[in-house]
């Protein structure tokens, strides 16, 4: 933002920012997945389709993790990222016992890629897609050595937040949407394969700590001040450097978002 | 980082607004849209990817799974496989490789029969002196025969379930017997989710009292899980000794059951389908848990599970009454029932309907307090029963055993003894302290003095040594 000259200008700038955000979110709505193909957009595709399919949040998170793990093993130029994305979503439904019908997955993914297209007829095209997904499902499982059970940061985060809530002054806690922000950070971190590099516990702590930093809440002893930081109760193996490294990775996600 | 508030808005916009708005499928109308545009590219790529996949079926490039090799023994080596240097390095260059060298190099068990063609190939291979890369190793394992159906000879059918058929088989590599659980791949919905969950769970579990998964073979039409073969299940074992087991054996089986279960529960995995048919026993007396088709990693404690889980006889009353929130304690009731059945030679509560099952339970243990299970029992018309003293219906059990049994058969799930605590019960004191200090993968029969006794009612026909003689009686495993 340009430097502030007077009060009026400040106001104007603020409005501009809001305008910018509105435009940005408008643009984001009409992501044309056929135009761009990279892992970030593919995970967005997973989230979009997952929400349309009314999948549980943890199912969608599983799909995102499976997607990243697959492309950690495989060369991304060899596979259609949207086929893999659709398949991880379908597979995640089975892993999390949140079954998604293959027909629904095909219809939703097809329509999300080809916005405005009519639903697929039960023809060759549909059968081909179904075969592709069924085949890709086994391919993914084999690539991941059939290890498709995932330990999520979510439950750790919930547990940490619950006990932090009891620790804080009630007024301080309710003033700041820490839980909401931390959850948003956690969900967004799933866009980045870096999430694979850290333990679920550490990711959960980093999301909460980032939220605390954002709101400048001095409700808890942070690692800025003296004494024992709040998170040491939950993870005694987490050093400050590591924590800030994860927090930076989370922030980087927002730079990777396509403009 | 600039403005925290702004960032938060951004993240919300990304997650929620975008996705909700677009979820309306707003523009169905555009007739000019080329349907299948995506699919054209997709199927083209698909051809590429399926080519990869089918190539891998023969080359095993995608059999990313050195760990499955060889009866689990290569597992330790697989992590370090990149550092493995060839043992032939120190020897004259032109020396021909023996099977032993190759076994060592690939960290395989010594009893493998390597195909001639494979050994020949290893001898001409120029990379033999260099360190082994993961991909080469994987490929080597596949060429030896891991992950391939030709490696296993089917000997006979052991049983059939809704989604799998179990065959007795033999590995051509080790000559060991194996159990082949063949899962049909539904063309409609791909691999069944029970199979996916079972495989992913079993991959995490390595324990002397849990059946070992040796290999996974994936062909176009089926997914086959290759398990170690155990001669019989507990049900057959009890039948074969006329339902009179030596009390020493009862103790050993119960301890092993608890040991396997404690390991699962520690990893927050419930079995949810304990019954004698799912407990496999080999000649040595080692008992192993099988059939994790219904088990699931317990992710969130509050999550409700489907009500239809455990075979009626081993089902706890809270579940019978419709409780869907259960934890590791759900398995412990079944342990109590199995304990009783082993010691007394008959099932404890053989009810055929929910009502009958509940009646049998309440008749033996007394009516539950009115407020039990959040009043769930109130909707049933329960006659008033006085608890019968356990000793009267379990005459073979001593006081310690009865005390332990009572702790399993506790109405209130939270008060049921855990598997880990049950192992420390005085009933097991006679086994000595060593059985508690074993590493996970070591059998309790390695402890001196721990051995199976001859069962009083044992008939000679017990363990079919080979072939199909045991076939018809073996219905239950892994189905």
Residue B327: its pLDDT value, please?
Answer: 82
Asked if residues B174 and B109 have their Cβ atoms less than 8 Å apart, the reply is yes
Asked if residues A132 and B42 have their Cβ atoms less than 8 Å apart, the reply is yes
Mean pLDDT of chain A: 84
| Mode of pairing for the β-strands spanning B287-289 and B222-228 | unpaired
Mean pLDDT of chain B: 70
Q: Please indicate if any CB of chain A lies within 8 Å of the CB of B135.
A: no
Task: Say which DSSP state B75 is in.
Answer: H
A153-256 CATH choice from 1.10.472.10, 3.30.450.70, 3.40.50.720, 3.30.365.10: 1.10.472.10
Q: Please indicate if any CB of chain A lies within 8 Å of the CB of B307.
A: no
Which residue's entry shows tokens 């702790």? B407
Q: How far apart are CA A24 and CA B269, in angstroms?
A: 44
- Give B257-284 as a DSSP string: HHHHHHHHHHTTEE-----GGGEEE-TT
Q: How confident is the model at residue B30 (pLDDT cuts 50, 70, 90)?
A: very low
pLDDT digits (tens, 9 = 90+) for B446-472: 999 888 888 877 765 445 444 443 333
Percent of chain A past pLDDT 70, that is, above it, reads 84
Closest residue in chain B to residue A77, using alpha carbons only: B45
- Is it true that A39-143 and A153-256 share their CATH fold? yes
Q: How far is B66 from chain A (nearest CA, A)?
A: 9
Q: Across the interface, do A83 and B45 touch by the CB < 8 Å criterion?
A: yes
Going edge to edge, which strands form the sheet with B279-281? B232-233, B279-281, B287-289
Taking only residues 193 to 212 of chain A, the set having a beta carbon closer than 8 angstroms to any beta carbon of chain B reads none
**Least CB-CB distance to B197: which of A95, A113, A143?**
A95
Q: Output the 3-class SS for B306-353.
A: CCCCCCHHHCCHHHHCCCCCCCCHHHHHHHHHHHHHHHHCCCCCCCCC
pLDDT digits (tens, 9 = 90+) for A147-174: 898 999 999 999 999 888 887 777 777 7
Closest residue in chain A to residue B295, using alpha carbons only: A97
Asked if residues A97 and B296 have their Cβ atoms less than 8 Å apart, the reply is yes
Q: Please indicate if any CB of chain A lies within 8 Å of the CB of B53.
A: yes
| Mode of pairing for the β-strands spanning B296-297 and B269-270 | antiparallel
pLDDT digits (tens, 9 = 90+) for B215-254: 888 877 888 999 999 989 999 999 998 888 999 999 999 9
Q: How far apart are CA B9 and CA B75, in angstroms?
A: 47
Q: How far apart are CA A34 and CA B109, in angstroms?
A: 50
Q: Residue B371 to residues B304, B378, B381, B411: CA-CA distances in angstroms?
A: 21, 8, 14, 12
Q: How far apart are CA B157 and CA B196, in angstroms?
A: 23
- The answer to whether residue B416 scores a pLDDT higher than 50 is yes
Asked if residues B46 and A128 have their Cβ atoms less than 8 Å apart, the reply is yes
User: Of B271, B235, B253, B286, which Cα lies nearest the Cα of B428?
Assistant: B253
Q: Across the interface, do A82 and B49 touch by the CB < 8 Å criterion?
A: no
- Topology annotation, domain B232-446: Transferase(Phosphotransferase); domain 1 (1.10.510)
**Least CB-CB distance to B52: which of A21, A51, A78?**
A78
Q: How many residues does this entry show for chain B?
A: 479
**Least CB-CB distance to A142: which of B19, B27, B62?**
B62
Which helix (H) or strand (E) segment holds residue B297: the answer is: strand B296-297
Q: Residue B113 to residues B118, B151, B172, B280: CA-CA distances in angstroms?
A: 10, 11, 7, 28
Q: Across the interface, do B299 and A152 touch by the CB < 8 Å criterion?
A: yes
Residue B70: its pLDDT value, please?
Answer: 35
The count of C-alpha atoms lying within 13 angstroms of the C-alpha of B158, restricted to the half-sphere facing its C-beta, is 26
Which residue ranges make up each domain of chain A?
39-143, 153-256
Can you tell me whether residue B232 is helix, strand or coil?
strand
Backbone angles phi, psi at B224, to 5 degrees: -115, 125
Here the tokens at position B359 are 């009646």
End-to-end CA separation in angstroms for chain A: 17
Interface test with A, best of B2, B19, B264 (most A CBs within 10 A): B19
pLDDT digits (tens, 9 = 90+) for A27-74: 555 678 888 888 899 999 999 999 999 999 999 999 999 999 999 988
pLDDT digits (tens, 9 = 90+) for A91-126: 999 998 888 999 999 999 999 998 888 888 888 989
Contacts of residue B4 in chain A, CB cutoff 8 Å? 213-216
Q: Please indicate if any CB of chain B lies within 8 Å of the CB of A101.
A: yes
Q: How far apart are CA A142 and CA A156, in angstroms?
A: 29
Q: How far apart are CA B77 and CA B68, in angstroms?
A: 11
Which class is B151-228 in CATH?
alpha beta
Q: Please indicate if any CB of chain A lies within 8 Å of the CB of B379.
A: no
Residue A163: its pLDDT value, please?
Answer: 87
Question: Has B170 been labeled as part of a binding site?
Answer: no
Q: How confident is the model at residue B272 (pLDDT cuts 50, 70, 90)?
A: confident
Can you tell me whether residue B157 is helix, strand or coil?
strand
Size of interface A-B (CB pairs under 8 A): 200
pLDDT digits (tens, 9 = 90+) for B297-326: 433 322 333 444 446 899 888 888 877 666
Can you tell me whether residue B115 is helix, strand or coil?
coil
Q: Please indicate if any CB of chain A lies within 8 Å of the CB of B62.
A: yes
Which residue ranges make up each domain of chain B?
66-129, 151-228, 232-446
Backbone angles phi, psi at B302, to 5 degrees: -85, -5
- The answer to whether residue B97 scores a pLDDT higher than 70 is no
Weakest mean pLDDT among A172-181, B288-297, B403-412: B288-297
Q: How many residues does this entry show for chain A?
A: 259
Q: Across the interface, do B23 and A17 touch by the CB < 8 Å criterion?
A: no
pLDDT digits (tens, 9 = 90+) for A188-208: 999 999 999 999 999 999 999
Interface test with B, best of A2, A108, A141, A252 (most B CBs within 10 A): A141
A39-143 CATH choice from 1.10.10.10, 1.10.3720.10, 1.10.472.10, 1.20.200.10: 1.10.472.10
Q: Please indicate if any CB of chain A lies within 8 Å of the CB of B359.
A: no
Mean pLDDT, range B161-184, rounded to an integer: 84
Residue B144: its pLDDT value, please?
Answer: 65
The residue ranking higher by pLDDT, B45 or B167, is B167
Residue A54: its pLDDT value, please?
Answer: 95
Q: How confident is the model at residue A24 (pLDDT cuts 50, 70, 90)?
A: low
Cα of B382 vs its chain's centroid, Å: 37
Interface test with A, best of B65, B189, B204 (most A CBs within 10 A): B189
Asked if residues B181 and B164 have their Cβ atoms less than 8 Å apart, the reply is yes
**Least CB-CB distance to B49: which of A78, A129, A152?**
A78
């Amino acid at each position: 933002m340009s430097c502030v000259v007077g009060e009026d200008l400040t106001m104007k700038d603020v409005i501009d920012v809001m305008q910018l955000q509105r435009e940005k979110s408008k643009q984001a709505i009409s992501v044309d997945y056929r135009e761009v193909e990279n892992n970030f957009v593919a995970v967005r595709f997973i989230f979009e389709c997952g929400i349309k399919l009314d999948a549980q949040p943890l199912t969608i998170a599983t799909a995102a993790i499976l997607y990243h793990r697959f492309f950690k093993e495989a060369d991304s130029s060899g596979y259609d990222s949207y086929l893999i994305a659709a398949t991880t979503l379908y597979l995640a439904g089975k892993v999390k016992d949140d079954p998604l019908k293959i027909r629904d997955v095909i219809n939703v993914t097809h329509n999300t890629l080809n916005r405005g297209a009519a639903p697929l007829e039960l023809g060759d095209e549909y059968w081909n897609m179904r075969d592709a997904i069924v085949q890709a499902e086994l391919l993914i499982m084999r690539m991941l050595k059939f290890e498709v059970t995932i330990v999520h940061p979510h439950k750790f985060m919930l547990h940490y937040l619950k006990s932090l809530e009891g620790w804080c002054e009630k007024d301080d806690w309710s003033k700041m949407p820490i839980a909401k922000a931390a959850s948003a950070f956690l969900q967004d971190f799933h866009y980045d394969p870096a999430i694979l590099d850290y333990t679920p516990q550490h990711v959960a702590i980093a999301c909460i700590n980032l939220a605390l930093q954002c709101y400048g809440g001095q409700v808890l002893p942070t690692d800025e001040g003296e004494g024992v930081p709040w998170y040491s109760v939950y993870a005694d193996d987490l050093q400050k450097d590591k924590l800030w490294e994860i927090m930076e990775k989370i922030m980087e996600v927002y730079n990777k978002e396509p403009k | 980082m600039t403005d925290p508030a702004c960032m938060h808005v951004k993240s919300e916009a990304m997650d929620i607004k975008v996705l909700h708005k677009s979820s309306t499928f707003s523009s169905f109308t555009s007739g000019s849209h080329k349907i299948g545009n995506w699919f054209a590219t997709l199927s083209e790529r698909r051809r590429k990817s399926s080519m990869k996949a089918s190539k891998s079926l023969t080359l095993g490039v995608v059999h990313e799974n050195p760990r499955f090799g060889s009866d689990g023994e290569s597992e330790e080596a697989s992590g370090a496989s990149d550092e493995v240097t060839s043992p032939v390095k120190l020897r004259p260059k032109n020396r021909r490789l023996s099977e032993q060298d190759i076994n060592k190099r690939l960290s395989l068990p010594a009893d493998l029969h390597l195909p001639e063609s494979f050994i020949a190939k290893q001898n001409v291979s120029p990379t033999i002196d260099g360190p082994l890369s993961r991909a080469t190793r994987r490929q080597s394992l596949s060429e030896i025969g891991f992950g391939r159906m030709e490696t296993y000879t089917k000997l006979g059918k052991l049983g059939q379930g809704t989604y799998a058929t179990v065959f007795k088989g033999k590995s051509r590599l080790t000559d060991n017997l194996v159990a082949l659980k063949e899962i049909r791949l539904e063309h409609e919905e791909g691999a069944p989710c029970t199979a996916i969950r079972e495989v992913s769970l079993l991959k995490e579990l390595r324990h002397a009292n849990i059946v070992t998964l040796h290999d996974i073979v994936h062909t176009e039409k089926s997914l086959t899980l290759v398990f170690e073969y155990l001669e019989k299940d507990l049900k057959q074992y009890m039948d074969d000794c006329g339902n009179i087991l030596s009390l020493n054996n009862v103790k050993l089986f119960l301890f092993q059951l608890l040991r396997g279960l404690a390991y699962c529960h520690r990893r927050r995995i419930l079995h949810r389908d304990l019954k004698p048919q799912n407990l496999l026993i080999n000649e040595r007396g080692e008992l192993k848990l099988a059939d994790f088709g219904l088990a699931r990693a317990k992710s969130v404690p509050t999550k409700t599970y489907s009500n239809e889980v455990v075979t009626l006889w081993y089902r706890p009353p809270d579940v019978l009454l419709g409780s869907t929130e259960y934890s590791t304690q759900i398995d412990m009731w079944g342990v109590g029932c199995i304990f009783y059945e082993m010691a007394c030679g008959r099932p404890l509560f053989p009810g055929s309907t929910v009502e009958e099952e509940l009646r049998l339970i309440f008749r033996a243990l007394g009516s539950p307090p009115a407020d039990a299970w959040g009043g769930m029992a109130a909707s049933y018309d329960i006659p008033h029963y006085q608890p019968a003293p356990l000793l009267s219906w379990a005459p073979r059990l001593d006081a310690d055993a009865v005390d332990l049994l009572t702790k399993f058969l506790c109405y209130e799930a939270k008060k049921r003894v855990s598997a880990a605590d049950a192992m420390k019960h005085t009933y097991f004191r006679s086994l000595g302290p060593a059985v508690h200090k074993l590493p996970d993968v070591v059998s309790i029969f390695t402890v001196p003095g721990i051995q199976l006794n001859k069962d009083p009612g044992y008939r000679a026909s017990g363990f079919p040594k080979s072939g199909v003689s045991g076939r018809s009686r073996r219905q239950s495993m892994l189905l």
